[in-house]
Amino acid sequence: MAKLTIEELNELGLRAEAMPRHVAMIMDGNGRWAKKNGFLRAMGHRAGVTRLRELVRFSSDSGIKALTLYAFSTENWKRPDDELGVLFSLLIEFFNKEIDELHRNNVCIRSIGELDAFPLKVREAVKNAEQRTKNNGGLMLNIALNYGSQAEILRAAGALCKRAIETGELPTKDDFEQELYTCGLPELDLLIRTSGELRLSNYLLYQAAYAELYFTDVFWPDFTKEEYIKAIKEYQRRSRRYGGLE
């Protein structure tokens, strides 16, 4: 991976100084992509994982600091066992196959969510990737696995309640954010959802307070680097007022 220069970003229609620092993606539409192309759903998931490589690379090259991907939600356990099996195998394969290149490129991998619920092999692959890349100072690549915002907020609230009982003091906003999985990450700037669904599906509800939202009808396996650039261009056109005036 080579960092893109200001000129190279300009050629793509992007302004270097206005790049989002933290992008999140709801990678949706694998199943419908498969159906549209006459494949089994499993093929859609595989195509979805394949898509990741160029998006991670572009994030890193373009100076984005953090990329947070929704890979498996707390609600996705409702899927049939065979689909869960496919998803777990693909996760193991992704972590084991991509780890060398990601590590070489200084990417720091972290999972967010409740990993304990996954089979041992998934947990091992994730933990190994986290362990190997933990000191890397490049792109922070967060993979949301058995992640749900409501569970995350409840977990934080529980931890803060315990502490408040001990200390007799109410928590601050900072205390609360320290207990979220996203602690230490830059504020979320851009949240992208593919496949035409207009909802957050329990993703980063707290963190998205002032994120710019980008929805596209493109199914995840068709979300190319060019589509990503389109999303960032749109982000750069938005006026972020945070309740104030321009």
Residues of this chain that interact with ligand IPE (CB under 6 A) are 26-32, 70-73, 75-76, 87, 195, 197, 199, 201
- Euclidean distance between CA atoms 226 and 55, whole angstroms: 10
Is residue 76 annotated as part of the catalytic site, yes or no?
Answer: yes
In the complex, least distance from residue 193 CB atom to ligand IPE, rounded to whole angstroms: 8
Known catalytic residue at 175:
no
Q: Which does 149 bind (CB under 5 to 8 A by kind): Mg ion, ligand IPE, none?
A: none
What sign has the CA pseudo-torsion 84, 85, 86, 92?
positive
Q: First CA to last CA across the chain, in angstroms?
A: 37
Which CB, 13 or 196, lies closer to ligand IPE? 196
Among residues 10, 30, 37, 76, which one is catalytic? 76
Residue 142's DSSP bridge partners are 68, 110
Least Å from the CB of residue 221 to Mg ion: 12
Assigned token pair, 176: 């609360």
Choose one: 27-35, 86-94, 106-114, 181-189; the region binding Mg ion (CB under 5 A): 27-35
Instruction: At 29, list the tokens.
Output: 């539409």
Nearer to ligand IPE, 39 or 176 (CB): 39
Comparing CB distances to ligand IPE, the nearer of 4 and 211 is: 211
Q: Which residue is nearest to ligand IPE (CB)?
A: 31
Q: Does 222 help bind Mg ion (rule: CB under 5 A)?
A: no
Q: Is 189 in the site for Mg ion (CB under 5 A)?
A: no
Say whether residue 28 binds Mg ion (CB under 5 A): yes
Applying CB under 5 A, the span of 2-10, 23-31, 86-94, 157-165 interacting with Mg ion comes to: 23-31
Interface residue list for Mg ion (CB under 5 A): 28
Catalytic positions are: 28, 76
